[in-house]
């Protein structure tokens, strides 16, 4: 095998750094100080394994390379060019892909904590390990100018925050519209169609994602609590926790039967029961791709407000997956009942901190009045700030 090699004046080719043996015979061209031709002979290598290395260093660096007949030839020019290793140019990567017209990445809510200390209610939202908060809340007091009316809601988004944002902004309006249509009667039906209308309006927006909801409407001495999904409402009655809602999960027998009767299926994926192998709740606003089986119709419970109802906690599953109903009431009760100044916000913070300390990765949002979760507490002590006295 014959080859012609140009050797630059580099430390890498210095004889002092060569440790291996090379057996060759050299044939110099017309410019012996520019070109070195190496002919490798396997037979000579095997016959004399201990032959010393013969290396010629060029006095002048080559200026260019010409390839011909399988050999590499170095040509000299009047202005010799040094072969120097250079750092590659910096790559400028565009933010958007050229040639693709997909939607831009939405801005996420990366806040760690959201706290609101309102009149008779408090809100605390603490983001878990997830990138952004997808939960939202709604708190409207002095509803329609009436200090005895109020609306509170927790909206636990999934697949983005758009559905939760839409529900937080529109659900209370749609419920009140239905209440007016019925002249304040048939509250359960009014709330039902308020949820369904909000769902229909959101689906027209052609936006992905969905949201679970739990709401509390206080109107003319009644407490109307509704939910769709796994957000939950828990009432303290004399220090005893009373769940006012049931979580809508595919594992519930009645929900499983409803889904299967509609042609869907429920299975267990890594310990979590899911609808169509995807969604872990069976009711929500949104979720267009599963709308055949996922309904936005809520379950509603109506209570007459009385002094034994001490406070109400509304929260998403970020709280209830780590804290039991009675634990939540036990934490809130000494801060809100039988004290001169109820500390609703402190109670919210304690519940959020407890959930996070137990490994919650979701957002914890509370209205005592988030991961992600919410706590809502309405009213406080029996003597001064019960729901009955406050509204």
Distance from C-alpha of 24 to C-alpha of 231, rounded to nearest angstrom: 82
* CB-CB neighbours of 239 under 10 Å: 13
Token representation of residue 212:
């679970």
Residue-wise pLDDT for 331-379, tens only, equals: 999 998 888 888 888 888 899 888 888 876 655 555 654 222 333 444 3
Q: Are residues 10 and 159 in the same domain?
A: no
Element (H, E) at 308: none
Full domain range(s) for residue 37: 2-75
Q: Are residues 231 and 164 in the same domain?
A: yes
Q: Are residues 13 and 120 in the same domain?
A: no
Element (H, E) at 383: none
Q: Are residues 368 and 322 in the same domain?
A: yes
At which residue do the structure tokens 């267990």 appear? Answer: 268
Residues 182 and 189 sit within 8 Å (Cβ to Cβ):
yes
Distance from C-alpha of 135 to C-alpha of 212, rounded to nearest angstrom: 9
Q: Are residues 367 and 241 in the same domain?
A: yes
Per the prediction, the chain carries an average pLDDT of: 74
For residue 82, is it within any domain?
Answer: no
> Where are the strands (E) in 255-344, listed by range?
266-269, 272-275, 285-286, 299-304, 309-315
Q: What was the pLDDT predicted at 343?
A: 86
Residue-wise pLDDT for 226-267, tens only, equals: 999 999 999 999 999 999 999 999 999 999 999 999 999 999
Q: Are residues 225 and 332 in the same domain?
A: yes
Q: Where are the alpha helices (DSSP H) in the chain?
A: 42-47, 162-181, 187-204, 253-261, 317-320, 325-336, 344-357, 387-390
Q: Are residues 243 and 343 in the same domain?
A: yes
Residue-wise pLDDT for 93-144, tens only, equals: 655 443 333 333 344 455 577 788 877 788 887 766 666 678 899 999 888 8
The count of domains in the chain is 2
Q: Are residues 135 and 197 in the same domain?
A: yes
* R_g of the chain, CA atoms, integer Å: 37
Taking the model in full, what pTM does it have?
A: 0.67
For residue 148, is it within any domain?
Answer: yes
Q: Are residues 71 and 125 in the same domain?
A: no
Q: Are residues 153 and 55 in the same domain?
A: no
Distance from C-alpha of 32 to C-alpha of 289, rounded to nearest angstrom: 77
Q: What was the pLDDT predicted at 357?
A: 85
CATH of the domain at 358: 3.60.40.10
For residue 47, is it within any domain?
Answer: yes
Distance from C-alpha of 47 to C-alpha of 45, rounded to nearest angstrom: 6
């Amino acid at each position: 095998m014959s080859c012609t090699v140009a050797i630059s004046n580099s430390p890498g080719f210095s004889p002092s750094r060569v440790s291996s043996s090379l057996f060759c015979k050299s044939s110099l061209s017309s410019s012996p100080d520019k070109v070195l031709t190496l002919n490798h002979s396997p037979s000579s290598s095997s016959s004399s394994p201990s032959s010393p290395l013969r290396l010629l260093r060029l006095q002048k660096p080559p200026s260019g390379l010409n390839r011909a007949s399988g050999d590499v030839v170095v040509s000299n020019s009047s202005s010799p060019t040094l072969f120097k290793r250079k750092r590659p140019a910096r790559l400028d990567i565009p933010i958007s892909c050229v040639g693709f017209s997909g939607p831009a990445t939405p801005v996420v809510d990366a806040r760690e904590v959201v706290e609101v200390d309102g009149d008779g209610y408090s809100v605390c939202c603490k983001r878990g390990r997830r990138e952004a908060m997808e939960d939202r809340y709604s708190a409207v007091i002095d509803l329609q100018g009436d200090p005895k009316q109020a609306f509170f809601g927790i909206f636990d988004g999934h697949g983005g925050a758009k559905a939760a944002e839409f529900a937080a902004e529109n659900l209370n309006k749609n419920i009140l519209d239905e209440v007016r249509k019925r002249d304040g009667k048939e509250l359960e039906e009014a709330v039902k169609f308020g949820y369904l209308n909000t769902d229909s309006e959101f689906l027209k927006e052609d936006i992905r994602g969905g949201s679970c909801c739990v709401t509390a409407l206080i109107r003319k001495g009644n407490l109307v609590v509704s939910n769709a999904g796994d957000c939950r409402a828990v009432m303290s009655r004399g220090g005893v926790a009373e769940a006012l809602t049931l979580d809508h999960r595919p594992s519930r027998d009645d929900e499983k039967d409803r889904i299967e009767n509609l042609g869907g299926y429920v299975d267990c994926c890594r310990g979590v029961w899911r609808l169509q192998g995807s969604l872990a709740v069976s009711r929500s606003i949104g979720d267009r791709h599963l709308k055949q089986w996922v309904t936005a119709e809520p379950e509603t419970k109506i209570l007459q407000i009385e002094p034994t109802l001490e406070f109400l906690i509304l929260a998403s599953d970020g709280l209830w997956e780590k804290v039991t109903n009675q634990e939540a009431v036990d934490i809130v009760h000494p801060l809100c009942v039988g004290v001169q100044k109820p500390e609703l916000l402190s109670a919210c913070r304690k519940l959020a901190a407890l959930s996070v300390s137990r490994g919650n990765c979701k957002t914890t949002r509370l209205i005592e009045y988030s991961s992600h979760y919410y706590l809502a507490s309405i009213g406080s002590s029996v003597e001064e700030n019960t729901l009955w006295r406050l509204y």
